[in-house]
């Protein structure tokens, strides 16, 4: 092979120093201030019942917020993925944070999750943020496990299924403030207690997984329990890591590989065993929803859940915020409800009629936005292709290397044999294949979704 001058892209680098009030950043470092760039809500912090005895919890939240700040502040390169981050965070207990096993576990976790390179250092806080008074603790009694909880279908279904086993012992940790705006006085872990005010230079935000894992882990630590349940079903937990497109890095945000490393970091930091569990990992979302509907009958409240990530201004009809109906998350929802034999009201989605021959024709007639806007069309294409490629992952030879590697990684993370993992993974994927085929088959022959898959479905 002859040498050719190929321009090697420069890896973007960002140095961020989390500063205390009035402190200036080191030369060449971007200043990030608590309460200006990382804004904590006293009300939501209060719901975490942090006390002087758990200052590590506050520092952990600052770390999670600072990681998100970095992730959102630096755009990824055009043709590659990786960025380099140097992050410095002030902490109350420097000795605890500066141990090599803590720092290396943290950096390994962030590297794997985001696909970037991280160097994290800690310095002692100049001024303790925590007051000297002892907080009155009011944590729920009898806790057995926690579950990070969103408005999503998996959250609703899996927490309800776990309630059957654990009853009051399952503590929900809200990832969004409860709808309606009224604060429930007694509610603990009522929302993510901070907001990151970074310019959104980057939209991939893979660090979201770190935020959820740290908040779930912190809640478990404060309650003195070991288990953090994550509600994601198989396609959502594994699919984004199994199917990659172009130069994108696998998405591990709900994947056992990432969770295994996050456990290692939290255990080293807190000296408390935290275990992340995905009870529906080997089931499709359709199977999860079907079981929920079966067990809860008419009281199953899946219809009010939200799967779509798109913002209100993009997908509202007559002033009402809908779900788009065509992005990967919406398509998985529709596929899963179809598989579970459930149906939804037509006005849930903006692009409601998937039998239509065009995306524009699928939109609600009252929708005033661009009916086949570029972004929506691209979301629809990416969503359909993702679920379609996932349906080919088990059988197509082109995925053989990635398939075997995925099995090895899952076996290592879950401490099971590759043979066992292969059986479970293939069973879940086989169910997805059948559900996908039935779902696509249920659409009209002229449907724009079916047209995308014309000319060689498998």
Partner 1 sequence: MSDGPHKSLNMSRKWKRFAEGAANAAFSREEVAGRLCEGLGEDWTAEVPARLIAELARALEQPEGTLFGEHALPDLRGLLRDPACKGLARRTVEYAQQALREGKVGPGALEGVVDLAVKDRASSRVAQVEEHYLRYADHAGAGAIRAHAQELVGSDAVAQLAKNICDAGREGPIAAREAKRDGVDDGVLLS
Does 268 participate in binding partner 1 (rule CB under 8 A)? no
Residue 368 CB, shortest distance to partner 1, in Å, is 22
Residue 24 or 203: the one with the smaller Cβ distance to partner 1 is 203
**Could you say which of 295, 318, 398, 446 contacts partner 1 (CB under 8 A)?**
398
Q: 60, 222, 45: which is closest to 141 by C-alpha?
A: 222
Cα separation, 103 vs 156, in Å, equals 35
Total residues at interface with partner 1 (CB under 8 A):
67
Count CA within 13 A, CB hemisphere, residue 102.
20
Q: Smallest distance from the beta carbon of 117 to partner 1, in angstroms? A: 5
Residue 218 or 328 having the CB closest to partner 1: 328
d(CA 350, CA 314): 10
Give ∠ CA 387-389-392 in degrees, rounded to 5: 115
Report if residue 41 touches partner 1, rule: CB under 8 A: no
306-325 residues in contact with partner 1 (CB under 8 A) are 309
Residues 229-248 binding partner 1 (CB under 8 A) are 235-236, 239-240, 243-248
455 binds partner 1 (CB under 8 A): yes
Name which of 342 and 452 has its Cβ closer to partner 1. 452
Return the closest-CA partner of residue 116 out of 152, 64, 80. 80
By CB under 8 A, residue 200 contacts partner 1? no
* List of residues 6+ apart from 162 with CB closer than 8 A: 145, 147, 170, 229, 279
Contacting residue, 251, 364, 433, 435, with partner 1 by CB under 8 A: 251
> What is the end-to-end Cα distance of the chain in Å, rounded?
35
Place of tokens 């992050």: 87
Contact status: 199 vs partner 1 (CB under 8 A)? no
8 A C-beta contact, residue 317 and residue 366: yes
Cα 243 to Cα 355, 386, 403: the distances in Å are 26, 7, 10
| Closer to partner 1 by Cβ: residue 107 or 263 | 107
Based on the shown chain and the rule CB under 8 A, indicate whether residue 379 belongs to the binding site for partner 1. yes
* Shortest Å distance, C-beta 328 to partner 1: 4
Q: What's the min distance (Å) between Cβ of 103 and partner 1?
A: 12
* CB neighbour list of residue 373: distance below 8 Å, 6 or more residues apart: none
Beta-bridged to residue 188, according to DSSP, are: none
Question: Rounded distance, CA 128 to CA 91, Å?
Answer: 9
Q: Which stretch binds partner 1 (CB under 8 A): 91-99, 291-299, 355-363, 395-403?
A: 395-403
Q: Is 397 in the site for partner 1 (CB under 8 A)?
A: yes
Pick one of 15, 75, 82, 371: the residue that binds partner 1 (CB under 8 A).
82
Pick one of 41, 144, 204, 316: the residue that binds partner 1 (CB under 8 A): 204
Yes or no: say if 457 and 385 are a contact pair by the CB < 8 Å rule: no
Going by their DSSP bridges, the two strands 84-91 and 117-124 should be labelled as: parallel
Q: Contact positions toward partner 1, by CB under 8 A?
A: 1-6, 8-9, 11, 76, 78-82, 84, 107-108, 111, 115, 117, 203-204, 235-236, 239-240, 243-249, 251, 309, 327-329, 332, 375, 377-379, 381-383, 385-386, 389, 396-402, 404-405, 408-409, 451-456
């Amino acid at each position: 092979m002859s040498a050719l001058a190929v321009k090697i892209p420069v890896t973007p680098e960002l140095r961020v120093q989390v500063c205390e009030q009035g402190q200036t950043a080191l030369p060449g470092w971007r200043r990030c201030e608590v309460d200006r760039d990382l804004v904590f809500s006293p009300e939501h912090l209060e719901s975490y019942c942090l006390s002087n005895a758990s200052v590590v919890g506050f520092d952990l939240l600052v770390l999670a917020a600072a990681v998100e700040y970095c992730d959102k502040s630096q755009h990824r390169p055009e043709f590659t993925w990786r960025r380099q981050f140097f992050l410095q965070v002030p902490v109350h207990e420097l000795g605890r944070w500066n141990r090599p096993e803590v720092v290396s576990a943290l950096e390994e976790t962030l590297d794997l999750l985001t696909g970037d390179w991280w160097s994290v250092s800690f310095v002692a806080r100049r001024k303790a943020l925590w007051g000297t008074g002892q907080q009155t603790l009011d944590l729920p009694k009898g806790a057995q496990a926690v579950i990070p909880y969103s408005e999503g279908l998996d959250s609703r279904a899996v927490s309800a299924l776990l309630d059957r086993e654990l009853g009051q012992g399952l503590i929900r940790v809200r990832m969004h403030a409860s709808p309606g705006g009224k604060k429930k006085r007694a509610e603990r872990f009522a929302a993510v207690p901070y907001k990151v005010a970074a310019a959104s230079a980057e939209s991939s935000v893979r660090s979201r997984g770190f935020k959820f894992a740290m908040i779930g882990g912190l809640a478990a630590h404060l309650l003195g329990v070991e288990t953090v349940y994550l509600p994601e079903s198989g396609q959502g937990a594994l699919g984004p890591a199994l199917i990659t497109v172009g130069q994108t890095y696998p998405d591990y945000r709900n994947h056992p590989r990432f969770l295994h490393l996050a456990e290692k970091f939290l255990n080293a930091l807190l000296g408390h065993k935290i275990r992340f569990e995905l009870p529906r990992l080997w089931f499709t979302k359709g199977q999860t929803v079907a079981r929920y509907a079966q067990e809860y009958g008419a009281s199953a409240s899946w219809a009010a859940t939200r799967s779509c990530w798109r913002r209100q201004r993009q997908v509202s009809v007559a002033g009402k915020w809908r779900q788009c109906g065509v992005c990967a998350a919406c398509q998985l929802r529709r596929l899963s409800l179809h598989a579970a034999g459930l149906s939804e009201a037509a006005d849930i989605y903006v692009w409601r009629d998937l039998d239509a021959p065009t995306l524009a024709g699928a939109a609600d007639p009252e929708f005033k936005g661009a009916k086949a806007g570029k972004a929506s069309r691209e979301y629809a294409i990416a969503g359909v292709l993702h679920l379609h490629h996932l349906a080919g992952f088990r059988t197509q030879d082109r995925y053989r290397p990635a398939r075997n590697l995925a099995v090895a990684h899952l076996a290592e993370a879950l401490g099971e044999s590759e043979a066992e993992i292969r059986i479970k993974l293939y069973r879940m994927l086989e169910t997805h294949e059948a559900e996908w085929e039935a779902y696509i088959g249920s659409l009209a022959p002229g449907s724009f979704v079916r047209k995308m898959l014309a000319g060689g479905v498998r």
